Amino acid sequence: MSLITETMRDELKKICRQIHFDEPMSHHTSIRIGGKADAFAYPETLEEVSGLLAYLRQKKLSYFPLGAGSNLIVRDGGIRGVVLSLTQGFSSLRLEDPAILYIEAGVGLPRLIEFAVEKGLSGVEPLVGIPGNVGGALVMNAGTPEGDIGRIVLSVTFVDREGKIVTWERDKIRFDYRESHFPRGAILLSTRLQLELSTPEAVREKVEKIRQKRIQTQPLNVPNLGSVFKNPKKGYAARLIEESGLKDVRVGGARISPKHANFIVNEGKATARDVLALVGLIKDKVKERFGVMLELEAQVVGEE
């Protein structure tokens, strides 16, 4: 049941120009599942972000900053409060120095990669094939075996829960394997990345090589969750899942990809319940077979 009354809806519309109510989160996740959010806002300016945070504090309503919706399981009951997406207003990128890139959180990773290719800047190639945006990539410290975004970050600017704009330099930011450590409730606005001077031809060659590898080994042409589990300290999650006999197993409309066992795909009518049932099955079977408790890389949010 929505926590937002009709009066609150009217008040929120005055604060944020682009806001929708009872918004299906299945429209905003890469695996195309998830119940409705009470409200879904696209703040386009810092004033709108600050105004929303002040209003939500006053009304004691929760909020959830959304990246591009990859590596995200939204439960079928949806999200109470307000989902905030910066994809409409925070989408600038520019060179500050020959190899230093300023980029806002709403920029999609494919656009970042293409910009780097055009400018002949190396360093973002490991992000090829990840269907996220810069804000989400920073929060998850997105990457692949070739590297992660944290290694090229110079600074990150964010809004804290109180609405204060804060910039952290690299030495203050802790990046770990598939996670970062910013203050709880922080809304990331932008980052500065240190890249390396190269040539468009050389960078494009690297990008295409990695892209072809992703196409051959990952189910990129169907709605998917991205990597479901983090790799354990020894070995690979996909190998453990496959050797547990789970590749191609289905629950409802969700399926463990026959192409890559650490991917769950939506075959058309999957629910979050289906996906979470597969997650539980994988954890149990891998623990039983190998004594390894896999840790989720995907984030789970929302109501049952």
Highest CATH level, class, for 220-301: alpha beta
Measured distance CA(32)–CA(201) in Å, rounded: 36
Hey, what are 299's tokens? Answer: 């984030």
Pairing status of strand 93-97 against strand 100-104: antiparallel
For residue 131, the model assigns a pLDDT of 83
For residue 146, the model assigns a pLDDT of 84
DSSP string, 29-68: STT----EEEEEE---SHHHHHHHHHHHHHHT--EEEE-S
Per-residue pLDDT of the chain (304 residues), as tens digits, is 788 999 999 999 999 999 999 999 999 999 999 999 999 999 999 999 999 999 999 999 999 999 999 999 999 999 999 999 999 999 999 999 999 999 999 999 999 999 999 999 999 999 998 889 999 999 999 998 889 999 999 999 999 999 999 999 999 999 999 999 999 999 999 999 999 999 999 999 999 999 999 999 999 999 999 999 999 998 999 999 999 999 999 999 999 999 999 999 999 999 999 999 999 999 999 999 999 999 999 999 999 9
For residue 144, the model assigns a pLDDT of 86
Strand partners, 235: none
Q: Which residues are catalytic?
A: 178, 227, 297
Diameter of the chain measured on Cα atoms: 56
Measured distance CA(109)–CA(193) in Å, rounded: 13
pTM over 0.85: yes
For residue 1, the model assigns a pLDDT of 78
For residue 28, the model assigns a pLDDT of 98
CATH number of 93-202: 3.30.465.10
Hey, what are 1's tokens? Answer: 């049941």
Q: Return the domain boundaries, the chain.
A: 6-85, 93-202, 220-301
Domain 6-85 listed as CATH 1.10.260.40: no
- Edge-to-edge strands, sheet with 63-66: 19-24, 36-41, 79-85, 63-66
